[in-house]
Structure 1
Amino acid sequence: MAEDPSFLPKDGFVLKLPKKSSLVLRMVVLLFVMVCAVYICSICLKQIGVSPNYGFLNVEVFERPCPEPNIEPWDIPFVHYPKPKTYNRDECSCHPVRYFAILSMQRSGSGWFETLLNNHTNISSNGEIFSVKDRRANVSTIFETLDKVYNLDWLSSASKNECTSAVGFKWMLNQGLMKHHEEIVEYFKTRGVSAIFLFRKNLLRRMISVLANSYDRDAKLLNGTHKSHTHSAKEAEILAGYKPMINTTLLINELRQIQEMTLKALAYFNTTRHILVYYEDVVKNLTRLDDVQEFLKVPKRKLKSRQVKIHGGSLSKHVQNWEEVMTTLKGTNFENFLHQEF
């Protein structure tokens, strides 16, 4: 006879859980507590302004150094790798740059000379930047301007699309250069700036050009416009039509003062790396520009300029009182100026 299930003891219906179930439950509880703890900690960190780092690596990128240029040891201070603040040099970042300054005087051919240099794809000469008085107010403003130029942050029409190999500008002797020559010489030597002296041999012809240019500032002979340089023979002819009157009483003294200033400049900057170029030598023989390109360590190119000379030929046709000038200079150290063509 089968047993009646209703008469079975109550304990027969109690299922005992295995011991493993309690272990799993404990693990779940522990995991929940840990998650809560992490969450609470992250909230606290955010409130005190500390951002947790969730396992991301901070990778610091180092710039690849530029290869050493193949130059002589003495030339190393004159090779630079500027890093402009206004733009990124990108593919030109490892292209070495040399710094220069054209030291000259007004009406000495520096404008024409600079256009020749700027005709080179790798040379940028930024004009007469210290003609603005504020830039030469004191040594500090001078240095600030120089730093901007040599850091390639001075943007002008001379800026090139090609990689710049030499950067500089024109600096007239009377634009703070002589006044602060000691500090500027030290700057040139510290920063590795090379000086290009450009002077005229014939100071009388320069004087005539200065007087004529000064007259045109007010007269504005070219359709009411003053031009220091011309790009056509017609414009040059119009400007050359004015013949200045030279004060012969002061003539010799003024020529001597200009001569002395030139010699002083050469003496002041004698300890810098420099080259001396005369305007007349370049006019007679453009191969003199090869020496300048070699000095700047740029590839040699045939350089051209669109500027047209204003006062060409004999000086006798450019001065009102020529006979008086001849009489004054005859028998002096300046007599040769009367006959030089350039």
Structure 2
Amino acid sequence: MAEDICLFTKEGLIIKPPKKSPASLRILVLVFAMVCGVYIFSFCLKQTNVHTSSKFLNLKVNWRHCHGHSIDRSQTPYLHYPKPTTFSRAECACNPVRPFAILSMQRSGSGWFETLLNNHTNVSSNGEIFSVKERRNNVSSILSTLDRVYNLDWVSSASKNQCSSAVGFKWMLNQGLMEYHKEIVEYFNDRGVSVIFLFRRNLLRRMVSVLANSYDRYAKLLNGMHKSHVHSHEEADKLSSYKPIINSTSLVMDLKQMEKMVLEALEHFSSTRHIILYYEDLIKNRTKLVDVQEFLGLPLMELKSRQIKIHKGLLLDHIKNWDDVTKALRGTAYESFLHTDYAS
């Protein structure tokens, strides 16, 4: 071929290289570029995966960092690490908080018991929050309220904010608790809420307290003010001066109804982590408060309350139609309620 002719010159032999097709050269460059692109893409993908794994690893390490070695692993489901939106927990962010709820009935000593709990440095018990009807209109409003409380975004005079070890409130059985018990039990179990049942053994004494408190709502015996709880013996004597008349005809049925509600509550919430307390036991035996503190995983403290008991002494001194009540209960399962059952 003419392109391969060798030329001889004076200086030496010259060999002309063969000419290559321009199309072939372009294909070669394209293939090379594709290979380089695939290599660069795979390298970047590996780097991204490593970075992502590193992020997840850091999150795991940070989460585990909040679980101290001293914490009993069996208690982990009942510990919560809130991230409130209203403030920063700062250095207390890794301090675990145990959510709780006091389930009770009106005039069963729950107000006095809650003041004892709030006397503890590390407890925030926020009162009877579902006494407001709007918060218990439906299950959605109930659950959103619970979220605010347990996320430390509920503000009350009892709130200790950052370094609370236990946070909760008291919930009366007639405040939507029984109506939506299935959803509430599921919520409690999902979030590890510890339940404290607080009831009165002597339901007749509870009835006296309920009637007297209802009377004072409009009578306002204390200088035109209604008080459900008092801090002086003078105030207690003034309120206890009123002696209610109890409907002896429906008395046994009324006591059965109260007893039934208590039993239903215990049954509905039996699957939760719970402790059962009775007002009379707390009055007679203050070591019960130690049991409560241990149940909530709290450092032990001596708990005090400024509240004064209103109806002290024998029950016959606080019921106007005592003879009728005695006749109605004699020979029934509730006859023992007629007698005092704890030191005055």
TM-score calculated relative to the size of structure 2: 0.80
CA shift digits 1:84-109 (9 cap, x unpaired): 00000001101000000000000000
- Any conservation in 2 of the 1:122–1:162 contact (CA below 8 Å)? no
Looking at structure 2, the residues matched to 300 and 249 of structure 1 have their Cα atoms a distance apart, in angstroms, of: 47
- Cα deviation, residue 162, structure 1: 6.6
Of the two, which has the highest radius of gyration?
A: 1
Q: Which residue of 1 aligns with 2:130?
A: 130
CA shift digits 1:18-76 (9 cap, x unpaired): xxxxxxxxxxxxxxxxxxxxxxxxxxxxxxxxxxxxxxxxxx9x784433233333321
Query: Structure 1 residue 223 and structure 2 residue 206: aligned?
Result: no
Q: Which residue of 2 aligns with 1:210?
A: 210
Looking at structure 2, the residues matched to 67 and 86 of structure 1 have their Cα atoms a distance apart, in angstroms, of: 21
Q: How does 1:137-152 map to 2 (within 5 A)?
A: 137-152=137-152
Q: Which residue of 1 aligns with 2:111?
A: 111
Q: Which residue of 2 aligns with 1:87?
A: 87
Query: Structure 1 residue 288 and structure 2 residue 288: aligned?
Result: yes
Q: Which residue of 2 aligns with 1:48?
A: none
Please tell me the residue identity of whatever aligns with 2:66.
Answer: P
Looking at structure 1, the residues matched to 192 and 101 of structure 2 have their Cα atoms a distance apart, in angstroms, of: 11
CA shift digits 1:154-196 (9 cap, x unpaired): 0111012671000000000000000000000000000110100
Please tell me the residue identity of whatever aligns with 1:327.
Answer: K
- Any conservation in 2 of the 1:313–1:341 contact (CA below 8 Å)? no
- Any conservation in 1 of the 2:89–2:162 contact (CA below 8 Å)? no
- Any conservation in 2 of the 1:243–1:319 contact (CA below 8 Å)? yes
Looking at structure 1, the residues matched to 224 and 84 of structure 2 have their Cα atoms a distance apart, in angstroms, of: 40
Q: Which residue of 2 aligns with 1:299?
A: 299
Residue 137 to residue 161, structure 1, CA distance change in 2 (3 Å): closer
Q: Which residue of 2 aligns with 1:28?
A: none
CA shift digits 1:193-212 (9 cap, x unpaired): 01000000000000000000
- Any conservation in 1 of the 2:100–2:166 contact (CA below 8 Å)? yes
Q: Which residue of 1 aligns with 2:31?
A: none
What is the aligned residue count? 282
- Any conservation in 2 of the 1:115–1:305 contact (CA below 8 Å)? yes
- Cα deviation, residue 224, structure 1: 0.5
Q: Which residue of 2 aligns with 1:252?
A: 252
- Cα deviation, residue 234, structure 1: 0.2
Q: Which residue of 2 aligns with 1:242?
A: 242
- Cα deviation, residue 341, structure 1: 3.5
- Percent of aligned positions that are identical: 65
Residue 81 to residue 161, structure 1, CA distance change in 2 (3 Å): closer
Q: How does 1:313-332 map to 2 (within 5 A)?
A: 313-332=313-332
- Any conservation in 2 of the 1:107–1:206 contact (CA below 8 Å)? yes
Looking at structure 2, the residues matched to 67 and 93 of structure 1 have their Cα atoms a distance apart, in angstroms, of: 8
Looking at structure 2, the residues matched to 194 and 81 of structure 1 have their Cα atoms a distance apart, in angstroms, of: 15
Q: Which residue of 2 aligns with 1:56?
A: none
SS across alignment from 2:145? helix
Looking at structure 2, the residues matched to 340 and 102 of structure 1 have their Cα atoms a distance apart, in angstroms, of: 26
CA shift digits 1:114-163 (9 cap, x unpaired): 00000000000000000000000000000010000000000111012671
Q: Which residue of 1 aligns with 2:66?
A: 67
TM-score calculated relative to the size of structure 1: 0.81
Gap runs ≥5 in structure 2: 1-54
Q: Which residue of 1 aligns with 2:186?
A: 186
Q: CA RMSD in A?
A: 1.3
Q: Which residue of 2 aligns with 1:268?
A: 268
Please tell me the residue identity of whatever aligns with 1:308.
Answer: I
- Any conservation in 1 of the 2:196–2:275 contact (CA below 8 Å)? yes
- Any conservation in 2 of the 1:236–1:308 contact (CA below 8 Å)? yes
